[in-house]
Structure 1
Amino acid sequence: MTKQQAVWFPQEEMMKKTRLYNWMQELGYRDYDAFFEKSVDDIGWFWDEAVKALHIEWFEVYQKPLEITGSWKYPKWFVDGKMNIAHNAVEKWAQNPATADRPALIWEGDDGAVVTYTFSQLNDKITALAAGLHEIGLKQGDVVSIYMPMIPETVISMLAIAKVGAIFSPAFSGYGADAVATRINAAQAKFLITADGYSRRGKPIPMKEEADRAVAKCPSIEKVIVVKRTGQEIPWDDRKDISYQSLSNNKNPFTTVKTNGNDPFMLIYTSGTTGKPKGAVHTHAGFPIKAAFDAGLCMDVKQGDTFFWYTDMGWMMGPFLVFGGLVNGAAILLFEGTPDYPNVDRIWEVTSKHKVTHLGISPTLIRSIMKHGPDWIEKHDLSSLQLISSTGEPWNPEPWMWLFEHVCKRKVPIMNYSGGTEISGGILGNVLLKPISPITFNSPIPGMDVHVFDHNGDAVLNEVGELVILKPWVGMTNGFWKENERYETAYWNKWPETWVHGDWVIKDEEGFWTITGRSDDILNVAGKRLGPAEMESVLIEHPNVVESAAIGVPDPVKGEAAVCFVVLKDQTESLDIKRDLMDLVATQLGKALKPKDIFFVDELPKTRNGKVMRRVIRAAYLNQSEGDLSSLENSNVLAAIRSLNKQM
């Protein structure tokens, strides 16, 4: 991996305005590194102070912040504390005259329509729906599946369910019936909340029909609650279907349920390489506090800000947006549309129109729009931006610098952010008190005891190794829903009392961390371990390459060889480009790492949030089982990849 030099440096005046700097000062720390060491040396102290800094309100104050009996696989946080995240996200702001009338939720539809709710208005909507849900039989501990587009009713539903003390389980809005049914059955959900449809690229997309097909396979579902978003004709069963609007018009009062902080409030199902999706269990005092900490203290989201992450509620960053923003008293922006419709500058138009202060995107999004040039950006006033965050996959240097130069104007910091659904947020990030270099991370997130281990379990520097965590953190999944053996196998089976996350990472002597890929993506060519992002970064340097993916395949001589899949801007001279790309890799990485082959494809298989699925590419190319494909947005591209192996 080429050593990266810092390009963004914190100015003292700016640093002193950040919440992290001021919090450190209050706790008696002037040096960030000393503060970080304390944050992982005394985990209980750290999170005790964090919930104070976030002004979390408790119905009954906890006895101690952390209790571990035996293994730390299942720590108990905020012992005997009672709270409800619906209160901390919205209700307390609505009850405060100083914040009640501030914007809480801003929604922009695919067609440009805009709806805004203040904290007071949002709280009224949540309370009415909670009362309606309670009247039809929802009670504490029940599970409700949410199969919804990015509309205000989605957030209202999540918080109303939490207010009742029940558990919501969001599913990606683009899933088909089978994927939705799998998640409903795994959660044994009592109700499903869905919509008639939504708008995408100017066209109505139906959802109710797909929801009905899913429910037909789910005996646990008693009622289907339907939001009428598009007004299109939909099938209706009076015995099972209920209008969302009728429930949300409930005028009865409803008091927020006092849940234990450790009570589950959300299940998020993530796809595995094999087998059915796994349900990460998140609690009232877990996921929302970790999300609020990472957003508030690390990304510097605060009251009066507008927080926008381009995502779906079925992905972790959807709930992260909701709780990372609202718990900090900021407005959150939901966007129903796509970032390049009706024009390629839609993402910048939305950012400018709503004066977004904190924007979350994926590297894939930037790679897809940078080919249109920077002129589209110059049409918009982006001066409100204070920070851009990115997650989902490793960066390549060229698109990172393109974003930094043309959108950030080399002034706005980019916070690379990496963690996962089971983490409730980030493991590594870019704190605003240290220099930032392209594609890297300048620190673990405070409170995360992160290390790099070699295959012997020894800590290494300047060497690719496994990303591991050695102490608990607020937000770590409380096992998998009714599958704790699977949870322990997934993260705890390599070294004792060590969370092995599944990322390959390098930490250099200057303290910069670089993720090179997933453990199951790593290339081992003739004994040389190489993260796929390293090879992809070389390929994308070619002016005709839009994006690429590198996988390892069996090789009789090297044991494993690299095969690359490349999307071109212009396919006309692909033979010449193939030769050029081979030479480029050989020059920059060495002849021994030269790919066995390079294939040109129209698309790479991705999730809706833009993550390239290398394990699926590898399985398709080798004609192996591709595992769970429910998270893919474009599984149709796999047929072309399967056919390529026949050409060898």
Structure 2
Amino acid sequence: MTDETVPSAYPPPADFAAHANATPALQDAADADRLGFWADQARRLHWHKDFDEVLDWSGAPFAKWFVGGRLNVAYNCVDRHVEAGNGDRVAIHWVGEPGDSRDITYSQLQTEVCCAANYFSSLGLVAGDRVAIYMPMVPEALITMLACARLGLTHSVVFAGFSSTALRSRVDDAEAKLVVTTDGQYRRGEPVPLKANVDVALGSGDEAAQSVQKVLVVQRTGIDIDWVDGRDVWWHETVAESADFHVPEAFDSEHPLFLLYTSGTTGKPKGIIHTSGGYLTQTSYTFHYVFDHKPETDVFWCGADIGWVTGHSYLVYGPLSNGATEIVYEGTPNSPNEHRHFEVIEKYGVTTYYIAPTLIRTFMKWGREIPDAHDLSSLRLLGSVGEPINPEAWRWYREVIGRNNCPIVDTWWQTETGAIMVSPLPGITATKPGSAMAPLPGISAKIVDMAGNPVPDGEQGYLVLDEPWPSMLRGIWGDEQRYIDTYWSKFAKEGWYFAGDGARYDEDHALWVLGRIDDVMNVSGHRISTSEVESALVGHHAVAEAAVIGATDETTGQAIVAFVILRSDATDTGAQLIDELKAQVSIDISPIAKPREINVVPELPKTRSGKIMRRLLRDVAEGKELGDTSTLVDPAVFEAIRANRS
């Protein structure tokens, strides 16, 4: 396909649009009566007691949604589907990394959640207590989350790749009474310890975590573990032996459902608080409409880990509240080989596939012959999450994975927003590669300058949310002032939430998220987004992935330094390629954006959530000592990067 024939926008296929859940009437309803619209979305759920008021914003920036309403989140995700006659529907196709698998129906899920809830109650845990979950992607992790929701226990999921230090800080901050974990987890086919990290985290004697009463251990790998009598208990000897009947209690709409600590920051982690009614309303609404979900026929796969908000919202609460059948995969995309994801899609007939741009670019690097070896014809919708997707990866995703027949929903949202905020509606929106397009019906956003004035189309500005939304965070655990200072101080006069991201509208008023504002470089007084330069680089046929940083420069203030990974079929890797890449950036953006330096590297430094650690690349470019590398998948990657720069 030549540049001249590449479409600028992709309308939804006619047959998709004809049967889509979302029609233009959805936006019309939200425009006519925003709060009435959200009331209608809330009533897609089961309320034990109906709400009296949709929104109380009198205590802004602390919201109360669906005031007076009472519901049980787990009942909405499990029991009501069984009661509706869908107990035999598979809720979870679980795929273990070594090749084992389980299919769990809604009736079976109800039984297991009830057993866990009864055991948790036997420990004396009561609504409002906190439970830390430090587990890989095994069914018991989801069962634990749902059992907590059933009892009104506030769960705090800690990504199983985090260190014992990170776990301890989160346990202490939340004052968790119970920690649920596994003996070990599989990483690239090998069992590695996990319970051992819990032991280190919780300490002993005077250094012991004072709040923790029990550690509940799922036997996953069978590796030897240390045991603390009186504290440690096996899942199969306790939960599995508990009664399987439990009557759920209804909780206030504003009852805290979970804490999720933001990662990647220095100092004390921020425990983001999400509550029950508003969060479930928006995750359920967005799942139904953004993913055009058809419960009788769709098989949904969100590739995120439950340790991140994407896993909470679109691997647990969003899908299950809609009665979905979904894939839960334990392992890495290349274990035992690079075909694994496509084998799963083929075997289970996955229809909806929701992954991060980082993974898409990894697939590009591996080469299209891998997905081409599989029947992916079951797919009807693709999704992107976690960071802005560059147009080249978007088009590759559509062509190679979606066979040019699947709409793509490029979604923007955050841990703090709780659910999708900006996204195409797949049966309505003509999508542009790389653009999240528009706020969803019921969501209000603006792009403004530092003074709060709307910026013209084509200019970069700050992405703000100027109206409250149901799944919004309700604060930072134990630190109300930090919540106000972090999210509401920049535009305090206007009362707007500042997302931390830059954005622009194009000439057609399509919304483009440009990434974090601290990823905007200032070169000779010109503000240039790292994501735009990265997109230009990845637009070259030889480049699979790129990371760009602004390094200190005596002349220009900052200079652009790029790190690129080449595709497997790239032939030219020398000076001519570097010149081509610099020229491409000049043409696509501006000569001002031409990188001072481009480094070809074998890998990029990434956290276990797939985010590129640009801060550490900046340290490399400026010759500084590296900062904290503990959250990286492979800290040794810097040796290869330095070798390629020398």
Bucket of the pairwise TM-score, normalised by the shorter protein? over 0.9
Structure 2 CA distance for partners of 1:10 and 1:601, relative to 1, 3 Å: closer
Gaps of 5+ in 2: none
SS in 2 for 1:376: helix
- The equivalent residue for 2:56 is 67
One-letter identity of the residue aligned with 2:474: N
Shift of 1:567: 2.3
- The equivalent residue for 2:437 is 442
Residue among 445, 448, 456 paired with 1:453: 448
Distance 1:624 1:179 in 2: 25
- The equivalent residue for 1:250 is 242
Structure 2 CA distance for partners of 1:181 and 1:132, relative to 1, 3 Å: same
* Identity within the alignment, %: 36
Distance 2:627 2:70 in 1: 40
Shift of 1:434: 1.5
Give runs of aligned pairs for residues 365-404 of structure 1, distance below 5 A: 365-404=359-398
Query: For 1:554-585, what per-residue CA distance to the aligned partner results, in whole angstroms no more than 9, with x for missing partners?
Result: 22222222111222357984444333322332
Q: Is the contact made by 2:602 and 2:641 (CA closer than 8 Å) also made in structure 1?
A: no
SS in 1 for 2:220: coil
TM-score by length of 2: 0.93
One-letter identity of the residue aligned with 1:447: G
Q: Is the contact made by 1:524 and 1:530 (CA closer than 8 Å) also made in structure 2?
A: yes
Distance 1:17 1:392 in 2: 28
Distance 1:337 1:13 in 2: 35
Residue among 212, 235, 240 paired with 2:226: 235
Structure 2 CA distance for partners of 1:87 and 1:630, relative to 1, 3 Å: farther
Query: For 1:587-634, what per-residue CA distance to the aligned partner results, in whole angstroms no more than 9, with x for missing partners?
Result: 333322222222333321212232223234335544679777554323
**Mean alpha-carbon deviation: is it higher for 399-408 or for 472-481?**
399-408
1:301 maps to 2:301: no
- The equivalent residue for 2:330 is 336
- The equivalent residue for 1:283 is 275
Shift of 1:500: 0.8
Residue among 159, 171, 179 paired with 1:192: 179
Structure 2 CA distance for partners of 1:609 and 1:452, relative to 1, 3 Å: same
Structure 2 CA distance for partners of 1:525 and 1:106, relative to 1, 3 Å: same
- The equivalent residue for 1:517 is 515
Q: Is the contact made by 2:447 and 2:461 (CA closer than 8 Å) also made in structure 1?
A: yes
- The equivalent residue for 2:309 is 316
Q: Is the contact made by 1:143 and 1:188 (CA closer than 8 Å) also made in structure 2?
A: yes
Shift of 1:7: 4.0
Q: Is the contact made by 2:437 and 2:512 (CA closer than 8 Å) also made in structure 1?
A: no
**Mean alpha-carbon deviation: is it higher for 177-186 or for 80-89?**
177-186
1:80 maps to 2:68: yes
SS in 2 for 1:419: coil
Residue among 465, 487, 501 paired with 1:469: 465
Distance 1:471 1:619 in 2: 38
Shift of 1:378: 2.8
- The equivalent residue for 1:221 is 212
Q: Is the contact made by 2:561 and 2:621 (CA closer than 8 Å) also made in structure 1?
A: no
- How large is the Cα RMSD of the aligned pairs? 2.3
Q: Is the contact made by 1:91 and 1:123 (CA closer than 8 Å) also made in structure 2?
A: yes
Query: For 1:161-220, what per-residue CA distance to the aligned partner results, in whole angstroms no more than 9, with x for missing partners?
Result: 111111111111111211111111121111100001122222112111111111115221
Shift of 1:107: 0.2
One-letter identity of the residue aligned with 2:584: L
One-letter identity of the residue aligned with 1:370: M
1:345 maps to 2:339: yes
- The equivalent residue for 1:15 is 17
SS in 2 for 1:476: coil
Distance 1:376 1:602 in 2: 20
One-letter identity of the residue aligned with 1:202: G
Query: For 1:349-369, what per-residue CA distance to the aligned partner results, in whole angstroms no more than 9, with x for missing partners?
Result: 111111112111111111112
Query: For 1:402-439, what per-residue CA distance to the aligned partner results, in whole angstroms no more than 9, with x for missing partners?
Result: 11111212111111011111111222111121101211
Q: Is the contact made by 2:30 and 2:37 (CA closer than 8 Å) also made in structure 1?
A: no
Distance 1:566 1:43 in 2: 45
TM-score by length of 1: 0.92
Distance 1:625 1:126 in 2: 48
Structure 2 CA distance for partners of 1:236 and 1:457, relative to 1, 3 Å: same
**Mean alpha-carbon deviation: is it higher for 137-146 or for 454-463?**
454-463
Shift of 1:639: 6.0
**Mean alpha-carbon deviation: is it higher for 355-364 or for 11-20?**
11-20
Count of aligned positions: 630
Q: Is the contact made by 2:130 and 2:155 (CA closer than 8 Å) also made in structure 1?
A: yes
Shift of 1:273: 3.5
- The equivalent residue for 1:210 is 197
Q: Is the contact made by 1:269 and 1:277 (CA closer than 8 Å) also made in structure 2?
A: yes
- The equivalent residue for 1:93 is 81
Query: For 1:105-128, what per-residue CA distance to the aligned partner results, in whole angstroms no more than 9, with x for missing partners?
Result: 110011222201111110010001
Distance 1:295 1:627 in 2: 38
**Mean alpha-carbon deviation: is it higher for 120-129 or for 290-299?**
290-299
One-letter identity of the residue aligned with 2:284: A
Q: Is the contact made by 2:257 and 2:276 (CA closer than 8 Å) also made in structure 1?
A: yes
- The equivalent residue for 1:125 is 112
Shift of 1:222: 1.1
Distance 1:183 1:627 in 2: 21
Gaps of 5+ in 1: none
Distance 1:625 1:425 in 2: 37
